[in-house]
Structure 1
């Protein structure tokens, strides 16, 4: 099996967010949870718990977002509050 981008789930204090997903995305999350269980042995009781690490991974590997974030941070540091 190919190596999954999301491995084990971190134990972190969550922030509650409600959102609607297309049924096809939910089916894929369920399938991904099964793949994680198969590969790592870690059972994922709620496929919704995969959303946060997937989003984090996506944002961490998005070069455009990283560049924007660095630029926005640089601009923020360059301004002085009076």
Structure 2
């Protein structure tokens, strides 16, 4: 079985966020939640709960952003252009 990038979802205080997702993205998010449930034996009742951990993971693994943050944002625009 393929190992998913997200680990278990930690229950925390809920925070209300309003966002509109394209329908295909919402379907993919729901499918990802189902795959997590199968892989980790953890039921994800609301796929929206995946958005924050996905964003956290994305930011934590974005090397261009890490460089920009480390450099104080001085090379952020050049880094973004290089990383695509």
**2:10 & 2:31 partners in 1: Cα distance?**
19
- Corresponding pairs, count: 73
In structure 1, list runs of 5 or more residues that go unmatched.
Answer: 74-82
**1:3 & 1:10 partners in 2: Cα distance?**
18
Alignment TM-score, normalising by the size of structure 1: 0.81
Q: Which moved more, 1:25-34 or 1:8-17?
A: 8-17
Q: CA RMSD in A?
A: 1.4
The alpha carbon displacement at 1:12 in A equals 2.6
In structure 2, list runs of 5 or more residues that go unmatched.
Answer: 74-84
Which is greater in Rg?
1
Alignment TM-score, normalising by the size of structure 2: 0.80
Specify which structure has the bigger relative contact order, considering alpha-carbon pairs within 8 angstroms and separated by 6 or more residues.
1
Residue matched to 2:50 = 50
Residue matched to 1:7 = 7
